[in-house]
């Protein structure tokens, strides 16, 4: 854990502010999901992913069927094959070998629509091996044989290594029959013990070069060579001075012109003694011609050297944890120094938590750093320092196995380069604030304008694959593909340039994704706005095609996406204008007055902006609410009825997306009705798959017509009818569970409101009861005030009158008793309201005073 004081010390060392904000490059911010309508972040111009289920009728093949304009993916997954995370692709791209759990699998990927299981090699530990693994204190889930090394040894055999119950084993496998050619031998130093330990391996001229750990506890990191032939001997690092400090290996690359292998990893930076566990990214090199020293460094590397990879922008903390790296060979005719390395980095600093950065490194810059000065290690204090000293030898230079013992001792102690390898242009290629990427692959492609562009395929931890193109003004994310539903802990990428596909290996299976999806774009405008170097608009066939499949000139603008200039030879449908006598009906929306109306506006892409217009009227903010998803909400009144036009604007190009005609229902109790005009069509300059809620499942009626069936409580459902260059959108907002849609009349019967009616009735009865009670109380008080005695009479007279009245009342009662009969009810006196004695006419009796 890095303390604030340590962060401040690092900031002073790098001459930056401790709370400096990260660089905000020209990367589009991603807002909502493209394929399934949820709130997950996505990117512009994305296609539907996984639109069909796996085919259950094929035991050893799995596939996804196309689903209209969306991208169709092919998936391989079987119950008896799991953790398919180590991928090896043949040179022709027809066969994919997978290192899985307890098995090596050969898949036929030569067909575009299916993946077929050809062979399978079962390679699992015995019960005794599993028992010993459990006795070592390991979980049984970690004790199977996880294949972590899979490399072509020659044209007929594959070299495979697995963890094998925390006791690594390696063997030779026939690539045709997928059978073992020899008995497995010990794989120490070639394969990790722990299946979660990252490693790297590469075979050059039949010799295996690995970066892994060579002990059971994972405390002995090593870069070694195995299967040496001829004058070569197996070599490894000298571990007396700690050439590696708890590394995490990522990748290794062989440069033939240099005869060097470069290893990429992250480790603890011991040169930064003011911060504990400060991680740095490294690049290390060794020469394939190295055979070790004669007396010093016997059977040890004499050409090992390492340097720091610094992925950092000006005024920011570095992205110091390398996650993946991919090499891009130089263009045809260019020198090997123009080899590019695209690295994917994250940061251990909390200020950059959850972010990812991509940096570009040139081979020429790496060579320059290795040919410069080196740090000096004090063997007493184990502290690194930089001081000018006489160079006895050049560390990292090939051919040092014949050097003197003095020179070999110098390279043994001076293996850390003084300078850091900085990114090309001293700037970051891209920074993602919303996504954390785990894997990366790079490809160079020539567009229709004969210019070369770099495409990056970035795999997110949430299960999405982003395709991005590097432009002069920044990074443009072309599309996002949803690869798998649930996030996967272990995954890998394998790019097949000849086949134009990329394979994603996860713990659940393998998914094949085409690198180009040109058929998704139906118009010239849509094809140009995508800015995809793989795709261009062909005026002859009036279709968006791959640039490699046609020789004629294509309409394409990768840098700007200017539709007017690129599609000047193609007749574009003008956008609909409001004309009083020629206004198309659009989608009829029947509503009741005072009802909340919400009109959906499909987005052409994630970079487009939606606008709303009305004929001869301005959409006032007092009456209309523009929502974040581009929809328009308002209350239905006589003033808000009429036509509405939804427009989408991108790169200065405007197109009509939807037209609505809001009308009042003829009957107050009639359900909301959406009708599709039969004689009117909506001209569209671009049609897209609306990335809103999931489309309802469609069932077939007896008459052969289809109707959607709601499977859940969808708040918004969008149905559509797609044609070549036209889309008619039918939308309804506020659907509830239980609503029914008739495919012929398109009438909606709303939900039942019985509970609400009962509650309102009870409240109404309570209110009426309270009102009646208050009325009676008011009448009683008013009567009391009318019959009460005059309080203004003096107290003496009042007391005197009261005593006289009481005496008369007693005499009256005596008379009644004397007569022996009761008075008639009509003559009897009573107490009314105030309780005073009154006669039948309401006055006091004649009592002498």
- What digits encode the pLDDT tens for the residues 595-606? 999 999 888 888
Q: In this structure, what token pair is assigned to residue 461?
A: 């931890």
Alpha helices in 100-218 (DSSP H): 127-135
Question: What is the mean pLDDT of the segment spanning 524-544?
Answer: 92
Give, in degrees to the nearest 5, the angle at Cα 76 between 75 and 82: 125
Give the pLDDT score at 711. 33
Task: Compute the distance between CA of residue 480 and CA of residue 428 in angstroms, rounded to an integer.
Answer: 22
Q: In this structure, what token pair is assigned to residue 742?
A: 């008739």
Chain centroid offset of residue 717 CA = 22
Per DSSP, the chain holds a count of helices (H) and strands (E) of 8, 49
Q: In this structure, what token pair is assigned to residue 196?
A: 């979660």
Q: In this structure, what token pair is assigned to residue 302?
A: 């004499």
R_g over Cα of the chain: 41
Are residues 300 and 236 in contact, defined by beta-carbon separation less than 8 angstroms?
yes
Confidence check: pLDDT of 752 > 70: no
pLDDT band for 351, please (50, 70, 90 cuts).
Answer: confident
Confidence check: pLDDT of 632 > 80: yes
pLDDT digits over 168-202, tens only? 999 999 999 999 988 999 999 999 999 999 999 99
Q: In this structure, what token pair is assigned to residue 328?
A: 């891009």
Are residues 629 and 623 in contact, defined by beta-carbon separation less than 8 angstroms?
no
Are residues 440 and 456 in contact, defined by beta-carbon separation less than 8 angstroms?
yes
User: Where in 461-585 does DSSP place strands (E)?
Assistant: 464-471, 474-482, 492-496, 501-505, 510-514, 535-538, 543-546
pLDDT digits over 276-288, tens only? 789 999 999 999 9
pLDDT band for 673, please (50, 70, 90 cuts).
Answer: very low
Which of 153-167, 212-226, 688-702 is predicted with the least confidence, judged by mean pLDDT?
688-702
Are residues 209 and 225 in contact, defined by beta-carbon separation less than 8 angstroms?
yes
Task: Compute the distance between CA of residue 597 and CA of residue 578 in angstroms, rounded to an integer.
Answer: 21
Are residues 71 and 481 in contact, defined by beta-carbon separation less than 8 angstroms?
yes
Q: How far is CA 604 from each of CA 410, 527, 624, rounded to the nearest angstrom?
A: 63, 12, 22
Q: In this structure, what token pair is assigned to residue 773?
A: 């009670």
3-state class of 152 per DSSP? strand
pLDDT band for 607, please (50, 70, 90 cuts).
Answer: confident
Alpha helices in 81-185 (DSSP H): 127-135
Question: What is the mean pLDDT of the segment spanning 431-454?
Answer: 93
Are residues 22 and 431 in contact, defined by beta-carbon separation less than 8 angstroms?
yes
573: DSSP letter: P
3-state class of 518 per DSSP? helix
3-state class of 575 per DSSP? coil
Q: How many CA atoms lie within 13 A of 162 on its CB side?
A: 27
pLDDT digits over 135-170, tens only? 989 999 999 999 999 999 999 999 999 999 999 999
Question: What is the mean pLDDT of the segment spanning 695-701?
Answer: 33
Give the pLDDT score at 150. 97
Are residues 323 and 437 in contact, defined by beta-carbon separation less than 8 angstroms?
yes
Give the pLDDT score at 570. 63
Give the pLDDT score at 326. 97
pLDDT band for 240, please (50, 70, 90 cuts).
Answer: confident
713: CB partners within 8 A, 6+ apart: 736, 737
Task: Compute the distance between CA of residue 270 and CA of residue 242 in angstroms, rounded to an integer.
Answer: 10
Nearest in space to 469 (alpha carbons), one of 336, 373, 560, 603:
560
Q: How many CA atoms lie within 13 A of 133 on its CB side?
A: 23
Give the pLDDT score at 631. 92
Confidence check: pLDDT of 47 > 80: no
- Give 619: exposed, middle or buried? Use CB within 10 Å, 0-12, 13-18, 19+: middle
Nearest in space to 470 (alpha carbons), one of 503, 497, 444, 500:
444
Task: Compute the distance between CA of residue 570 and CA of residue 377 in angstroms, rounded to an integer.
Answer: 68
- Name residue 460's beta-bridge partners: 437
Alpha helices in 371-513 (DSSP H): 405-413
Domain boundaries, the chain: 237-442, 518-566, 587-697+713-749
pLDDT band for 423, please (50, 70, 90 cuts).
Answer: very high
Q: Taking all residues of the chain, what is their mean pLDDT, rounded to a whole number?
A: 76
348: CB partners within 8 A, 6+ apart: 2, 279, 320, 321
pLDDT digits over 721-748, tens only? 222 222 223 333 333 333 333 333 333 3
Alpha helices in 286-350 (DSSP H): none
Give the pLDDT score at 38. 33
Domain with residues 518-566, CATH architecture: 2-Layer Sandwich (3.30)
Give the pLDDT score at 573. 54
* Cβ count within 10 A of residue 59: 8
Give the pLDDT score at 576. 54
Give the predicted TM-score (pTM) of the model.
0.71
Give the pLDDT score at 666. 81
222: CB partners within 8 A, 6+ apart: 189, 210, 211, 212, 213, 214, 236, 237, 239, 244
Task: Compute the distance between CA of residue 671 and CA of residue 665 in angstroms, rounded to an integer.
Answer: 8
Confidence check: pLDDT of 695 > 90: no
Q: How far is CA 683 from each of CA 339, 425, 724, rounded to the nearest angstrom?
A: 49, 47, 11
Q: In this structure, what token pair is assigned to residue 713?
A: 């409580």
Task: Compute the distance between CA of residue 590 and CA of residue 728 in angstroms, rounded to an integer.
Answer: 17
Give the pLDDT score at 780. 87
pLDDT band for 544, please (50, 70, 90 cuts).
Answer: very high
Task: Compute the distance between CA of residue 20 and CA of residue 1 in angstroms, rounded to an integer.
Answer: 20
Which is higher by pLDDT, 828 or 212? Answer: 212
Per CATH, the homologous superfamily of domain 587-697+713-749 is: Immunoglobulins (2.60.40.10)
Are residues 545 and 536 in contact, defined by beta-carbon separation less than 8 angstroms?
yes
Are residues 554 and 547 in contact, defined by beta-carbon separation less than 8 angstroms?
yes
Confidence check: pLDDT of 655 > 50: yes
Q: How far is CA 44 from each of CA 31, 688, 693, 761, 788, rounded to the nearest angstrom?
A: 10, 11, 17, 51, 85
Which of 65-79, 121-135, 333-347 is predicted with the least confidence, judged by mean pLDDT?
65-79
Q: Which residues of 143-166 are buried (b: 16+ CB within 10 A; e: fewer)?
A: bbbbbbbbbbbeeebbbbbbbbbb
Task: Compute the distance between CA of residue 74 and CA of residue 749 in angstroms, rounded to an integer.
Answer: 40
Q: How far is CA 245 from each of CA 196, 297, 414, 687, 739, rounded to the nearest angstrom?
A: 18, 20, 15, 55, 64
Q: How many CA atoms lie within 13 A of 223 on its CB side?
A: 31
Are residues 535 and 521 in contact, defined by beta-carbon separation less than 8 angstroms?
yes
pLDDT band for 703, please (50, 70, 90 cuts).
Answer: very low
Confidence check: pLDDT of 779 > 60: yes
* Sign (positive or negative) of CA dihedral 345, 350, 355, 361: negative
Give the pLDDT score at 64. 37
Which is higher by pLDDT, 60 or 207? Answer: 207
CATH of 237-442, one of 2.130.10.10, 3.40.50.300, 3.40.50.800, 2.115.10.20: 2.130.10.10
Task: Compute the distance between CA of residue 479 and CA of residue 38 in angstroms, rounded to an integer.
Answer: 17
- Give 530: exposed, middle or buried? Use CB within 10 Å, 0-12, 13-18, 19+: buried
3-state class of 14 per DSSP? helix
Q: How far is CA 129 from each of CA 132, 194, 314, 449, 780, rounded to the nearest angstrom?
A: 5, 15, 53, 60, 98
- Name residue 387's beta-bridge partners: none
pLDDT band for 392, please (50, 70, 90 cuts).
Answer: confident
Which of 106-120, 251-265, 769-783 is predicted with the least confidence, judged by mean pLDDT?
769-783
Chain centroid offset of residue 543 CA = 30
Q: In this structure, what token pair is assigned to residue 33?
A: 């999901």
């Amino acid at each position: 854990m890095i303390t604030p004081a340590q962060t401040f010390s690092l900031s002073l060392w790098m001459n930056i502010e401790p709370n400096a904000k990260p660089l905000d490059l020209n990367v589009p911010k991603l807002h909502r999901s493209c394929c399934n309508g949820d709130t997950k972040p996505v990117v512009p111009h994305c296609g539907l992913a996984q639109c069909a289920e796996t085919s259950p009728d094929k035991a050893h093949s799995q596939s996804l069927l196309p689903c209209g304009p969306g991208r169709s993916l092919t998936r391989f997954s079987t119950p008896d094959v799991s953790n398919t995370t180590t991928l090896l692709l043949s040179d022709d791209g027809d066969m994919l070998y997978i290192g899985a759990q307890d098995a090596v699998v050969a898949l036929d990927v030569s067909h575009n629509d299916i993946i077929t299981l050809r062979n399978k090699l079962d390679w699992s530990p015995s019960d005794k091996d599993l028992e010993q693994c459990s006795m070592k204190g390991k979980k049984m889930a970690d004790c199977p044989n996880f294949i972590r090394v899979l490399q072509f040894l020659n044209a007929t055999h594959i070299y495979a290594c697995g963890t094998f119950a925390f006791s690594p084993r390696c063997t030779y496998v026939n690539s045709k029959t997928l059978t073992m050619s020899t008995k497995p031998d010990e794989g120490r130093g070639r394969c990790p013990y722990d299946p979660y330990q990252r490693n790297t391996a590469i075979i050059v001229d039949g010799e295996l070069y690995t970066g892994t750990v060579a002990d059971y506890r994972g405390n002995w990191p090593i870069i070694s060579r195995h299967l040496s032939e001829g004058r070569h001997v197996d070599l490894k690092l000298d571990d007396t001075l700690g050439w590696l400090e708890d590394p995490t290996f990522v990748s290794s690359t062989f440069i033939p012109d240099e005869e060097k292998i470069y290893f990429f990893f992250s480790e603890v930076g011991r040169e930064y003694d003011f911060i504990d566990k400060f991680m740095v990214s490294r690049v290390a090199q060794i020469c394939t011609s190295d055979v070790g020293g004669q007396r010093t460094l016997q059977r040890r590397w004499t050409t090992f050297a390492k340097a720091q990879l610094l992925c950092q922008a000006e005024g920011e903390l570095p992205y110091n944890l390398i996650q993946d790296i991919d090499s891009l060979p130089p263009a045809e005719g260019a020198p090997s120094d123009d080899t590019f390395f695209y690295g994917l980095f994250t940061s251990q600093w909390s200020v950059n938590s959850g972010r990812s950065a991509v940096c570009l490194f040139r081979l020429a810059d790496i060579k320059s750093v290795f040919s410069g000065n080196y740090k000096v290690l004090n063997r007493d204090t184990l502290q690194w320092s930089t001081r000018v000293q006489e160079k006895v030898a050049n560390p990292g230079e090939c051919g040092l196995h014949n050097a003197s013992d003095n020179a070999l001792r110098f390279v043994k102690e001076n293996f850390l380069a003084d300078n850091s390898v900085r990114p090309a242009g001293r700037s970051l290629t891209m920074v993602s604030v919303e996504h954390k990427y785990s894997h990366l692959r790079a490809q160079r492609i020539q567009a229709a304008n004969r210019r070369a562009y770099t495409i990056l395929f970035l795999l997110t931890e949430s299960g999405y694959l982003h395709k991005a193109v590097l432009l002069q003004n920044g990074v443009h994310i072309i599309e996002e593909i949803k690869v798998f539903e649930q996030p996967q802990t272990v995954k890998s990428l394998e790019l097949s340039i000849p086949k134009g596909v990329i394979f994603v290996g996860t713990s659940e299976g393998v998914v094949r994704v085409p690198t180009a999806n040109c058929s998704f774009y139906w118009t010239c405008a849509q094809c140009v706005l995508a800015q995809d170097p793989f795709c261009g608009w062909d005026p002859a066939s009036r279709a968006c095609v791959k640039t490699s499949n046609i020789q004629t000139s294509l309409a394409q603008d990768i840098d700007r996406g200017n539709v007017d200039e690129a599609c000047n030879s193609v007749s574009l449908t003008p956008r609909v204008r409001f004309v009083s006598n020629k206004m198309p009906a659009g989608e009829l929306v029947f509503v009741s007055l005072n009802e909340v109306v919400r009109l959906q506006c499909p987005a052409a892409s994630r970079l487009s902006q939606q606008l709303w217009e009305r004929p001869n009227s301005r959409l006032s903010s007092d009456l209309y609410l523009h929502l974040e998803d581009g929809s328009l909400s308002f209350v239905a009144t006589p003033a808000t009825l009429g036509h509405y036009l939804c427009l989408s604007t991108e790169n200065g190009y405007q197109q009509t997306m939807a037209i609505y005609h809001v009308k009042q229902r003829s009957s107050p109790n009639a359900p909301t009705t959406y009708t599709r005009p039969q004689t009117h069509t909506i001209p569209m300059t671009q049609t897209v798959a609306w990335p809103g809620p999931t489309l309802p499942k469609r069932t077939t009626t007896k008459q052969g017509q289809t109707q959607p069936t709601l499977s859940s409580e969808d708040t918004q459902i969008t149905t559509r009818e797609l044609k070549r260059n036209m889309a008619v959108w039918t939308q309804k907002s506020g659907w509830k569970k239980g609503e029914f849609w008739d495919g012929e009349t398109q009438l909606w019967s709303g939900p039942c409101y019985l509970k609400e009616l009962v509650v309102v009735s009870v409240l109404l009865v309570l209110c009426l009861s309270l009102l009646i009670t208050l009325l009676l109380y008011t009448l009683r008080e008013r009567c009391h005030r009318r019959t009460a005695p005059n309080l203004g009479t003096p107290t003496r007279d009042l007391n005197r009158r009261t005593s006289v009245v009481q005496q008369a009342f007693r005499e009256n009662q005596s008379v009644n008793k004397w007569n022996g009969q009761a008075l008639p009810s009509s003559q009897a006196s009573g107490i009314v309201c105030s309780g005073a004695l009154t006669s039948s006419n309401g006055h006091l009796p004649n009592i002498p005073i």
